Amino acid sequence: MEINIQKRVLEANETEAQKNRNYFKEQNVFALNMMSSPGSGKTETLCKTLAKLMPQIRVGVIVGDICTTNDADRLEVTGAKVTQINTDQFGGDCHLAANLIFDSAKQIGLEDVDLLIVENIGNLVCPAEFDIGEDARVVVLSVTEGEDKPLKYPLMFRVADAAILNKVDLLPYLDFDAPLAVENMQKVHPHLPVFEISAKTEEGFGPWIEWLKIKVFEKTGR
C-alpha cells in the first residue's frame, strides 16, 4: 500500500525560521546570517565591522561554534550584545538551525537592537541549507583558500546576497588569483556583490559598511 505524503523534510525548520522572521519584523531588526569555512576571518571581520557601525547602529551578535566561547569573548569587547551557542549540547551540529536562533535572540533582547548578526558555524556546506529567518546572507572567503571554492560549494554562493573576500593584505605573498575568485563567485551567482577587504588592515571596508548600512536602513528606517 502506497501512502502519499508530499512534504518538505525541512518543513519544521522552515516553520521556526518564519517564527524568527516575524519576531525580527515585530522588533524592527535586520538579521544578517554570516557564513564561511573555518578560519576565513569572520570574527575579526565582525569585530572591525561592529567598531565602524556602533553606536549609530545598535548591534546584537549570536555566535555559533561547536565548542568554546572564544569568539563571543572577542566580540564582547566591542560593546555589542553577544550570546554564544555551542552546538555540542545539541549533538555537535555543523550548522545553526532556526529554533536555536529564536531562544538566543530572546536572550539578547532585541528591544534596543537594529542589526542582529548571526555568526554561523564555520562550514561551507550545511549552513547554506538552513533558513534561520534572516534578511540577508553574507559568505566570507579568504585568499588563503582556493579560488575555486565557489565552484566546489555552489549552494553557499548561490544563497548568499553578498560575499566578502578577506585577507587581501596577504595577496602579495600568495599565488591566489583574486580576479578569478571573484569571477568564480559571479559564475555561480551572477551580479553577486563582492567586497575585497582585509580585516587586519581594514582596507576596503568602506563599500562593505555602506552596503550593510543601506540594508539596515531599508528595513528598519534607522
Partner 1 sequence: MHEMGIAEQLAQIAIDSIPKEIENPKVEKLNLKIGKLSSIVEHSLTFCFEIVSKGTPLENAHLDIESVPVKVQCASCKNAWEVTGPDFNCPHCKDGDVKMLTGREIEITSLELAE
> What is the contact surface with partner 1 in residues (CB under 8 A)?
1-13, 91, 93-95, 97, 125-126, 128-130, 150-151, 154-155, 158, 184, 187-191
Answer for the pair 29, 134: CB distance below 8 angstroms, yes or no.
no
Which CA distances in Å does 42 have to 25, 118, 200? 25, 11, 11
Q: Which three cell numbers stand for residue 165?
A: 573576500
Least separation in angstroms between residue 119's CB and partner 1 is 18
**Which residues, in sequence order, are CB contacts of 172 under 8 Å at separation 6+?**
none
Least separation in angstroms between residue 107's CB and partner 1 is 23
Nearer to partner 1, 51 or 126 (CB): 126
Nearer to partner 1, 14 or 44 (CB): 14
Least separation in angstroms between residue 152's CB and partner 1 is 8
- C-alpha closest to that of 119 among 40, 50, 62: 62
- C-alpha closest to that of 141 among 125, 158, 118, 157: 157
Least separation in angstroms between residue 72's CB and partner 1 is 23
Nearer to partner 1, 33 or 198 (CB): 33
Nearer to partner 1, 36 or 49 (CB): 36
Nearer to partner 1, 60 or 150 (CB): 150
Most distant pair of Cα atoms in the chain: their distance: 65
Least separation in angstroms between residue 81's CB and partner 1 is 28
Least separation in angstroms between residue 26's CB and partner 1 is 27
- C-alpha closest to that of 121 among 156, 170, 149: 156
CA 118 – CA 89 distance, rounded (Å): 18
CA 96 – CA 65 distance, rounded (Å): 9
Nearer to partner 1, 183 or 203 (CB): 183
Task: Phi first, then psi: give them for residue 179, nearest 5 degrees.
Answer: -60, -35
CA 85 – CA 77 distance, rounded (Å): 18
